[in-house]
Chains A and B, each alone.
Chain A
Amino acid sequence: MKVAILGLGSVGRGVVSMLAKKDLGIVVTGIADSRGGVMDPAGLDLQAVLEQKAKTGFCGDPSIRGEDIVKNGDYDVLVEVTPTDIRTGEPALTSIRTALSRRKHVVTSNKGPLALHYTELMHLAAENSVQLRYEATVCGAIPIIQTLQHGLAGNEVRAVYGILNGTCNYILTRMADEGLTYDQALAEAREMGYAEADPTFDVKGIDTALKLVILANTIWKNGITLRDVDCTGIDLLTAEALTLAGSQNCTIRLIGEVIPGRKLLRVSPRILPKKHPLVVRDTLNAVTVVTDMAGAITQVGKGAGSVETASAVIGDLLFIRDCHVKGD
């Protein structure tokens, strides 16, 4: 199976290095970042591409652009792992549309296009008889989309709720453990590389809300968008609030929840007993799915990280290879 990869940031490098290391029978015919690209229909030397990227910051020839690879490249699956833009979804949105229209499967880690245009993109994929898979958009290494689409197939999903943002979870863990103020914990999260220079996206709950939108659309295909989410972040929490919760043997976590029966789509800091299955530490994610037949299922795992997110991307790739490309 031939694959083209757009984006060579943390996730892209994770995917490329794992594909280089593991013999999965996947041939990478094109790779591009924002500054250039490399193409070879016979297959690229992945280790060489990674070395060049590490040494020069470029992944290849500046005259080869990502869009050239998307439009003209020889591939079965486009792996789209560029940074997300939640306002427009671009340039990923155009790349995904183009690939799907060319009857190419797409695997993406990009939340923007999925949260903004879920219904349109899934229709486009169906029209062209190809797969659009996006496991890496929600909860990193946790196979939550696969679980919802296949593992729990036939179940009625009554609710999904969980900790979907590792940065917020790290900040809250540190505030509860060490009595740090919000600002101190945020500064520490930045030092550790968990929080961006502008942490708004994470701490205001927007990242969690985007993931909720994707989860809700995955299950109910109801075309909801970010505007439908009632969203409160963690930036106004105080160290004293964590202490007060602690006095009740509880703690505070940022919870995203979708409960269709109550038309509820909410991100908010919540009080949970310390022994609650969702109370995970540091940057871990945890998500509970409540269904009619299987009851409640909670999955815990790493929500981010280069190789962890690559795990989700590669899982999607192999799913496509096994179920949709083999024997074509």
Chain B
Amino acid sequence: MKIEVKDAPGQLVAALKPISEAGGNIIAVIHEWDPTLRSKTRIVQVVLDIPEDRVDGLVESLTSRGVSILRMGEERLLMKRSVIMIGHLMHTDLSDTVDQIDCTGFAEVVEIHMTMPGIAQRSSALLTVSATNAAHMETAMEILRAVAKKKDLLLVEPMEESI
């Protein structure tokens, strides 16, 4: 994320503190010096790793301390979830199953591992879905649940991390 902090001693540390408090791991801090700005603020780019469900809290915490968030990186809220599908996956048009997720624009199937023990036997596949945020992931899961129901496939979802 790119943040704007006051150009005064101790301000950068104060701005970074909420990140560690929120359980984030700071990977890099790039201090940008833009002479054209001539303002009393500095632009700082922070690369961090933080659980998706804590991002909103971090944003609030930073904003309440007077730190402006100029931009959130593309990796923001990029989350993955793996599910297992069991059934006649090929005979029920696997590419259509994948397309239904991909065409949403906010989620896509990024990985498939599949085993097909025999032509007449049910196959099993591990599908990894990537989505831009938790709500979009849930929508993608709803699509998969509907597809599984329609195509008579067993969908095994992960146990959610937190309730």
Binding site for B on A (CB under 8 A): 158-159, 161, 232, 236-238, 240-241, 243-245, 247-248, 250, 252, 255, 259, 268-272, 276, 278, 290
Contacts and interface: CB of A to CB of B under 8 A. Distances in A.
B159 A270 contact: yes
Interface of B: 82-84, 86-87, 113, 115, 117, 122-126, 154, 156-159, 163
- Which of B122, B126, B154, B159 has the largest count of A CB atoms less than 10 A from its CB? B159
Contacts of A270: 156-159
Contacts of B154: 232, 236-237, 269
B30 to A, nearest CB: 34
Nearest to A243: B115
A106 B123 CA distance: 49
B113 A272 contact: no
Contacts of A161: 159, 163
Nearest to A236: B154
Contacts of B83: 271
Nearest to B83: A271
30 contacts: A158-B163, A159-B163, A232-B154, A236-B87, A236-B154, A237-B154, A237-B156, A238-B117, A238-B122, A240-B124, A241-B84, A241-B86, A241-B156, A243-B115, A244-B115, A244-B125, A245-B84, A247-B113, A247-B126, A252-B84, A259-B163, A268-B156, A268-B157, A269-B156, A271-B82, A271-B84, A271-B156, A271-B159, A272-B158, A272-B159
A259 B160 CA distance: 12
Q: Which DSSP category, helix, strand, loop or mixed, fits chain B's interface?
A: strand
A276 B159 contact: yes
Contacts, number: 64
- Which of A161, A268, A271 has the largest count of B CB atoms less than 10 A from its CB? A271
B82 A240 contact: no
Contacts of A232: 154
A244 B86 CA distance: 11
A152 B115 CA distance: 46
Contacts of B115: 240, 243-244
A86 B95 CA distance: 42
- Which of B84, B117, B123 has the largest count of A CB atoms less than 10 A from its CB? B84
Contacts of B84: 241, 244-245, 252, 271
A236 B86 contact: yes
A158 B163 CA distance: 8
A244 B126 contact: yes
A248 B126 contact: yes
A247 B83 CA distance: 12
A270 B117 CA distance: 22
Given A240-B124, A241-B156, 16 more contacts: A159-B163, A161-B159, A161-B163, A236-B87, A236-B154, A245-B126, A247-B113, A252-B84, A255-B159, A268-B156, A268-B157, A270-B158, A270-B159, A271-B83, A271-B84, A278-B159
Contacts of A237: 86, 154, 156
Nearest to A244: B126
> When A and B form their complex, which 3 residue pairs have the shortest distance between CB atoms, in order from nearest?
A240-B124, A240-B115, A244-B126
Contact of A238 (B124, B157, B158, B159): B124
A166 to B, nearest CB: 19
A42 B113 CA distance: 69
A247 B84 CA distance: 12
A244 B115 CA distance: 9
Contacts of B126: 244-245, 247-248
A269 B82 CA distance: 14
A248 B126 CA distance: 9
A232 B157 CA distance: 12
B113 A244 contact: yes
Nearest to A278: B159
Contacts of B87: 236
- Which of B87, B122, B126 has the largest count of A CB atoms less than 10 A from its CB? B126
A232 B82 CA distance: 19
- Which of B125, B154, B157 has the largest count of A CB atoms less than 10 A from its CB? B154
B5 to A, nearest CB: 35
Nearest to A252: B156
A271 B124 CA distance: 14
- Which of B82, B125, B156 has the largest count of A CB atoms less than 10 A from its CB? B156
